[in-house]
Chains A and B, each alone.
Chain A
Amino acid sequence: MESLLKNLNKRDFISVVANRQKKFAAADGAVPSGTDASRQLARSLHPRAQYVKVAAVTERAPDVKSFTLAPDPARGTTSLAYFGAGKYLTVFVEINGMPVTRAYSISSAPKDALEGRYELTVKLVDGGLVSRYILDNWQVGTEVTVSAPEGNFEYQPLRDAPTVIGLAGGSGITPFLSMAKAIRDGDEDFDLILLYGSRNKDSILFYDELTALEKDCDRFRVIHVLSDKDAKAGKGFEKGFLTAELIQKYAPADKPYSVFLCGPQQMYEFVDKELEKLALERKFVRHEMFGEFHNPSTQADYPAGVPETVKITVTQAGETRTVEGSSNDSVLQILEKNGISAPARCRSGECGWCHSLLVSGEIYTPPQLDYRRMADKQFGFIHPCCSFPLTDLVIDVPEAK
Chain B
Amino acid sequence: MKNNYDVIVIGAGNGGLAAAAHCAKAGLKTLLLEKHNLPGGSASSFVRGRFEFEPSLHELCGVGTPDNPGDIAKTFMEMGAEVDWRSHLSTYRLIVPADENDPEGFVGENGVRVKVDASMPMGFEAFARKLDSLVPGSYESAMKAFRLSTLMYEAFDMISGDKINPVKLLTRYGDVFKMAGHTVKECLDELGMPEKAQGIFTAYWCYMGAPPMRFDMLYYMAMMHGYVERGASMPHLRSHEMSCAIDKVIRDNGGEIRYNSEVTKVLMKDGKPCGVVINGKTEAYARYFICNVHPGFALPDLFAPEEIPEDARKKVNGRPVAASLVTVYLGMNRTKEQLGFHDYSIFIAPTVDSDRQFHISQGKLGSDFVIINCMNEAIPNCSPEGTSILFLTGICYGDVMQGVRPQDYKKLKTKLAGDMITRCENTLGLSIKPYIEEIEIGLPPTFSRYLNTPNGSPYGYQLDMWDSMLPRTIQYAKDQPFDNFFFCGASQERGDGYGCAYFTGKKAAGLVIKQFTEGK
List residues 1-25 of chain A with CB under 8 A from any CB of chain B: 1, 3-17, 19-21, 23-25
What is the bound-complex CA distance between A353 and B259, given in angstroms?
11
What is the bound-complex CA distance between A168 and B150, given in angstroms?
65
- For A276, list chain B residues within 8 Å (CB): none
Minimum distance in angstroms from B360 CB to a CB of chain A: 20
Assuming the contacts A38-B401, A45-B409, asked whether A13 and B455 have C-beta atoms less than 8 A apart, the reply is no
Does A282 lie at the interface of the complex (its beta carbon under 8 Å from any beta carbon of B)? Answer: yes
Does B390 lie at the interface of the complex (its beta carbon under 8 Å from any beta carbon of A)? Answer: no
**Contact residue among A24, A82, A350 (Cβ-Cβ distance under 8 Å from B315):** A24
A27 near B317 with CB under 8 A, answer: yes
What is the bound-complex CA distance between A4 and B38, given in angstroms?
48
What is the bound-complex CA distance between A33 and B299, given in angstroms?
10
Assuming the contacts A24-B314, A373-B240, A379-B245, asked whether A12 and B181 have C-beta atoms less than 8 A apart, the reply is yes
Stretch at the interface among A60-68, A154-162, A325-333: A154-162
Does A126 lie at the interface of the complex (its beta carbon under 8 Å from any beta carbon of B)? Answer: no
Does A34 lie at the interface of the complex (its beta carbon under 8 Å from any beta carbon of B)? Answer: yes
Q: Mark contacts of A26-54 with chain B using CB atoms, 8 A cut-off: 1 yes-contact digit, 0 otherwise.
A: 11111111101111111011100000000
A371 near B47 with CB under 8 A, answer: yes
List residues 270-307 of chain B with CB under 8 A from any CB of chain A: 278-279, 282, 295-297, 299-301, 305
Tell me what chain A mostly uses at the interface: helix, strand, loop, or mixed: loop
Assuming the contacts A37-B399, A317-B282, asked whether A158 and B259 have C-beta atoms less than 8 A apart, the reply is no
List residues 434-486 of chain B with CB under 8 A from any CB of chain A: 435-439, 443-449, 454-456, 465-468, 470-471, 474-475
- Which residue of chain A lies nearest to B282 when distances are taken between CB atoms in the complex? A317
- Which residue of chain A lies nearest to B444 when distances are taken between CB atoms in the complex? A38
A34 near B297 with CB under 8 A, answer: yes
- For B112, list chain A residues within 8 Å (CB): none
What is the bound-complex CA distance between A32 and B409, given in angstroms?
27
Q: Mark contacts of B36-63 with chain A using CB atoms, 8 A cut-off: 1 yes-contact digit, 0 otherwise.
A: 0110000001111110100000000000
What is the bound-complex CA distance between A157 and B465, given in angstroms?
44
A379 near B247 with CB under 8 A, answer: yes
A5 near B37 with CB under 8 A, answer: no
Assuming the contacts A41-B404, A41-B406, asked whether A4 and B147 have C-beta atoms less than 8 A apart, the reply is yes
A318 near B237 with CB under 8 A, answer: no
Minimum distance in angstroms from B392 CB to a CB of chain A: 12
B300 near A39 with CB under 8 A, answer: no
Tell me what chain B mostly uses at the interface: helix, strand, loop, or mixed: helix
Q: How many residues of B contact A (CB 8 A)?
A: 103
- For B404, list chain A residues within 8 Å (CB): 37, 41
What is the bound-complex CA distance between A25 and B467, given in angstroms?
14
B260 near A398 with CB under 8 A, answer: yes
A343 near B37 with CB under 8 A, answer: yes
A34 near B296 with CB under 8 A, answer: yes
What is the bound-complex CA distance between A379 and B82, given in angstroms?
11
B37 near A352 with CB under 8 A, answer: yes
What is the bound-complex CA distance between A318 and B285, given in angstroms?
14
What is the bound-complex CA distance between A158 and B418, given in angstroms?
7
- For B178, list chain A residues within 8 Å (CB): 3, 5, 8-10, 12-13
A7 near B190 with CB under 8 A, answer: yes
What is the bound-complex CA distance between A343 and B262, given in angstroms?
14
A sample of 28 inter-chain contacts (CB < 8 A) reads A5-B191, A10-B174, A13-B181, A13-B470, A16-B465, A16-B468, A29-B317, A32-B295, A34-B297, A34-B300, A38-B447, A38-B455, A39-B448, A41-B404, A42-B448, A44-B406, A152-B48, A156-B439, A159-B438, A282-B49, A282-B50, A317-B258, A317-B282, A352-B38, A357-B251, A374-B238, A379-B245, A401-B262
18 extra interchain contacts, Cβ-Cβ under 8 A, other than A7-B190, A16-B471? A4-B144, A5-B187, A10-B174, A13-B470, A24-B311, A24-B314, A27-B314, A37-B399, A39-B448, A40-B401, A41-B409, A45-B445, A114-B407, A157-B418, A187-B407, A281-B333, A352-B37, A372-B47
Question: Which residues in A have some Cβ–Cβ distance to B below 8 Å?
Answer: 1, 3-17, 19-21, 23-34, 36-42, 44-46, 81-82, 84, 110-111, 114, 152, 156-159, 187, 281-283, 317-318, 343, 350, 352-355, 357, 371-376, 378-379, 381, 398-401
Question: Which residues in B have some Cβ–Cβ distance to A below 8 Å?
Answer: 2-3, 37-38, 45-50, 52, 144, 147-148, 170, 172, 174-175, 177-182, 186-187, 190-191, 237-238, 240-241, 243-245, 247-248, 251, 256, 258-262, 278-279, 282, 295-297, 299-301, 305, 308, 310-311, 313-318, 324, 333, 399-404, 406-407, 409-410, 414, 417-418, 421, 433, 435-439, 443-449, 454-456, 465-468, 470-471, 474-475
